[in-house]
Each structure stands twice: as C-alpha cells, then as structure tokens.
Structure 1
Amino acid sequence: MTDVHALAVDFGGTLARPGPSPDGHMVANALRKLAGAAIPQGFAETFDTVTRRLRQADQESNRQTPLAEQLCQAAEECGAALPDLDAAVEAVFTAVPDAEIGPDAARTLRNLHASGLVCVLACDTQRPEAVRRRTLGAAGILDCFDALVLSSTVGVRKPHPAFYAAVVEAAGHPANEILFVGDTPAKDAVAPVAYGMRSVLIADDRPVGLEPSIGVIRHISELPAYLEALHAR
C-alpha cells in the first residue's frame, strides 16, 4: 500500500470544537458599531430569513455563499445601509467567536507536521481565510499547515469534486498519498475515497455501511497511532 505523505484535515468537529454561526441579532449588533452603517430594527429577522434561504440553496448546489453576499441580500430586503462590505464582514467575524482548538489536537497536529507530513486544512466555512489563520495562529499551529483549502475561498463546499481537486493540488501529492481526516461520513470519508484519497473518520462508533477500508478513530489524538498501523501493513 502506498504510504501517506499528506493529511487533509477538517476543522470543526475534527480539529476544533465548533463555534457559533452568526445569527441575525449577533450580526445586527456588530454592524451597528460600524461608522456610516444604518441597521433598521427588522435587520436581524431579515438576515435569518436570508440565511435559511441561502443555506438551502447552498446544500442543493454545494456552493458556498460568501457572508458579504448574504449581508447584501439582507440589507437590500430591509433597507439597511452598509457602505463598506469588507469592514462589515470583519466586524461580524470579530464579534462572533471562531471554533476552539484544544491543546491535545494542537499538539497532535504539531507532531504530525514535524514528522514530515504535508498538512492541509480542508473545511467548509463561511469565515474568510484571514479569520481562520487568526484562529490557527492563536492555537500555535498556523505554521503546521502548508495550505488552507476553505469553501469560502474555493467557492464550493464538500462534497463538490472541485473542493477535493483543490485539496490534491494544495497537498502537492497524488490523491492516493493523501489521508482525509474528518467527522462527517459523506463529506470527509466517502467522498474523498471516491476521489481517490484515503480517509479516516472521527466518530464514537463505526457508521453502518461504512466501507471497510475507511478507518475510524475517536479523536484526532489517535491519528499518529492509526498512521503507524497503516504504514505497518
């Protein structure tokens, strides 16, 4: 079996405990602090309605709608004024905490990268790359990632094939030398295998019907032992 030379690591639920998704009240409060912004009382409800509509459309198309587009639609529908969209996006993601990376996960990632593995962050997120880099930097593991593949940058979400193509390109290794690590069976295990990668699922129990070649571990801290066993076969 070909050795694993690169890891594609999911974020929320895999490397980190997921943070909150911005809701209308969070967003409205953040935007009201911006100079020149005019946010009416109905903005929060309108934003939540737009969010539900876009989320459904994104799930059907595997597209990733940027927050800026979401804000524009909400503003147009309720008469809000947002003179600086970039500042608005930054304000929202400064006010809404990102996911939290635990010390065990951070230590594991550092050790895996130090062993010579190429590490690529591969996740669905609406947060811009600068925000995710800030989170990784705060956990002391930004320099452990050779590349970040985010749906907010790529424009599509898992399991769109273009997402996995971006992962392979970022890793700089053939698909069969990449191990995808994540906690969602369809997106982080089944689809990567269909694209030619290998995968290991983070779960308490093996899902019924999961292909036998897909490994299952309970926490990312078990990944070094899993890789050692994989290479020993």
Structure 2
Amino acid sequence: MILRALALDFGDTLAVPGPDPDGRTVVEVLRGMPATDIPDTFAAVFDHVHCITRAGDRVRDEHTSFADEIRHAAARCGARVPDPEAVAGPVFERVPDSRVIGRAAEALRHIRARRDLVCVLACDTQRPEAVRRRTLARAGIEACFDAVVLSCTIGLRKPHPDFYAEVERACGVAREQIMFVGNTPSKDATAPHLYGMQAVLIAPTGRPAGLAEEIGVIGHFADLPDYLDRAVPDAAAPGGISPGSRPPARR
C-alpha cells in the first residue's frame, strides 16, 4: 500500500456536529447590518427555505450557498438585503461550530508527528472556511491540515465525484495514494473507494453489511494510528513515504 495523503471528514469523525442557524438568529444578524429592511415574517420564511434547499441539495449532491438561501428568503417575504454574501460570516459567529473531540485531535497530532503525509480536511459544511479554521485552531489541529475542501466553497457535496476530484487536487498526489476517512458509509467510504481512493470507515458498531472488503473499518478516529501501523507499518518502508519527501499540497 502506498499512502501519501489523508482526506478527513469532520462532523462525527473529528468533531461533534454543531447546530444549524435558525431564522431568528439570521434576523438578529440582518437587522444589525446597514441598509436592510427585514419583516417579522423573515425568520419563518428562512427556516422553510433552508429546509427545502438542503433537501434538494442532498438529492443533487450540490451545495447552495448561504447567500443564495438569504436571497431566496428575502424574495419570498419582501425583505431588503443589499449584501447577502456578507451574511454568513456574522451568522456563523453566533452559531456554535462543531466541537472537536479530544481523543480525535490527539490521534491526528500523533499521526502528523510520526508520518509525513499530506492532510486535507474534506467535509460538507455551511460554515465559511474562516470559521472552520478558527475551530481547528482552538482545538490545536489547524496546523495539521495542508488544505481544506468544503462543500460550501466548491458548491458540491459528497458523494458527487467532482468533490473527490477536488480533494485529489488539494492533496497533490494520485488518488490511489489518498486515504479517505469518515463516518458515513456512502459518502466517506464507498464513494471515495469507487473514485479510486483508499478508504477507512469509522463505524462504532462494526462493519456494515455490503461494505466492500477493501474498505477498512475502525471504531473511532482515535483508532486510526494503530490501523495505519498495521496497514503501513513504517512510513519510511516500501509502500510508505519517507520523511521529508511529502509532496506540496495544492491549496
């Protein structure tokens, strides 16, 4: 096995997911922004738009931007929002981000200290990159990542093949040398495996029925260092990557 990069999911892999923003929070932010006119009905309209938009995105493997959700909600209720693109930042300042799991953070730092691998965060999220990077920094793991691939940035969600193509570009190595790690069988294991990547599923209850035998299974992200020790025993041995030879990731 040649392993040169890790692509890591975030929610329920490295972190406990945070809440979605609700209409009331969005209204509070909008009313504090210049030149806006926000009727009382906006909160309920936004909640409805958000619900149907996310449902449609999941069907199409797309990611509608938060700004477009604001535009759609404003159009439905006659609100005036001069700069929808500026709304996501302050909204997600108010809404807690995911909480990084201590054991997972420790395992990631351990891997980075021992193995010269490119590491890319690859996840579906509404949070802007600046918000997610701040969360990583507070948990002491931002420096572990060479790049981030977020659905809100590229407009696509897992398991769209182009999502994994973007991850491959960010890693800067061949797809078969990338190991995708996450907790959702369809998005974090089967789809990257079919794309040509290695894959490891986090499954606390064990291997799901029908999962390809080539896909590894661990119970918690904290188990990944031991899994790598078994799968790639020595980072400097044939099939691994020698220290100092890590290729530059593409940001």
TM bucket by the smaller chain? over 0.9
Give 5+ residue unaligned stretches, structure 1: none
Q: Deviations over 1:179-206 (max 9, x none)?
A: 1000000000000000000111111121
Retained in 2: the 8 A contact 1:200–1:217?
yes
C-alpha separation in 1, matches of 2:13 and 2:40: 37
Equivalent residue for 1:154?
154
The Cα of 1:81 is off from its aligned counterpart by 1.7
- 1:175 is matched with which residue? 175
Q: TM (normalized to structure 1)?
A: 0.95
Deviates more, 1:116-125 or 1:21-30: 21-30
Paired residue for 1:211? 212
Cα deviation for residue 14 of structure 1 reads 0.4
Structure 2 CA distance, aligned partners of 1:21 and 1:6?
A: 30
Q: What SS is found at the alignment partner of 1:12? A: coil
Shift of 1:215: 1.3
Q: Which residue does the alignment assign to 2:244?
A: none
Amino acid at match of 2:105: A
- Please list every run of at least 4 consecutive aligned residues from structure 1 whose deviation after the TM superposition is greater than 6 angstroms: none
Q: Is the 8 A contact 1:188 1:199 kept in 2?
A: yes
Match of 1:82?
A: 81
Bigger mean CA offset, 188-197 vs 130-139: 130-139
Deviation at 1:4, TM superposition (A): 1.5
Partner in structure 2 of residue 19 of structure 1: 18
- Aligned partners of 1:109 and 1:30: how far apart in 2? 35
Distance in 2 of aligned mates of 1:209 and 1:9: 22
1:82 and 1:88 in contact (8 A); partners too: no
Q: Deviations over 1:150-209 (max 9, x none)?
A: 111111100111100011111111111111000000000000000000111111121111
The residue correspondences of 1:1-233 to structure 2 (distance < 5 A) are: 2-114=1-113, 115-205=115-205, 206-232=207-233
Q: Is the deviation greater in 149-158 or in 27-36?
A: 27-36
What is the identity, as a one-letter code, of the residue corresponding to 1:97?
P
Q: Aligned AA for 1:32?
A: R
CA distance in 2, matches of 1:196, 1:101: 29
Secondary structure of residue in 2 paired with 1:119? strand
SS in 2 for 1:83: coil
2:103 touches 2:222 (CA, 8 Å); kept in 1? yes
Identity over aligned pairs, percent: 52
**1:127-155 alpha-carbon deviations (Å, 9 max, x no partner):** 22111111111111111100101111111
TM-superposed CA distance for 1:77, in Å, is: 0.7
What is the SS of the residue equivalent to 2:16? coil
Partner of residue 247, structure 2? none
Question: Mean alpha-carbon deviation: is it higher for 82-91 or for 123-132?
Answer: 82-91
Secondary structure of the 1:222 match is helix
CA contact (8 A) 2:5 2:178 kept: yes
Matched position secondary structure for 2:181: strand
1:227, distance to aligned residue in structure 2 (A): 0.6
Number of aligned residues:
232
Is residue 19–residue 97 contact of structure 2 (8 Å, CA) maintained in 1? Answer: yes
What are the Cα deviations for residues 18-59 of structure 1, in whole angstroms up to 9, with x where unaligned?
000112222222322323322211111101111122112212
Structure 1 Cα separation of the partners of residues 108 and 78 of structure 2: 46
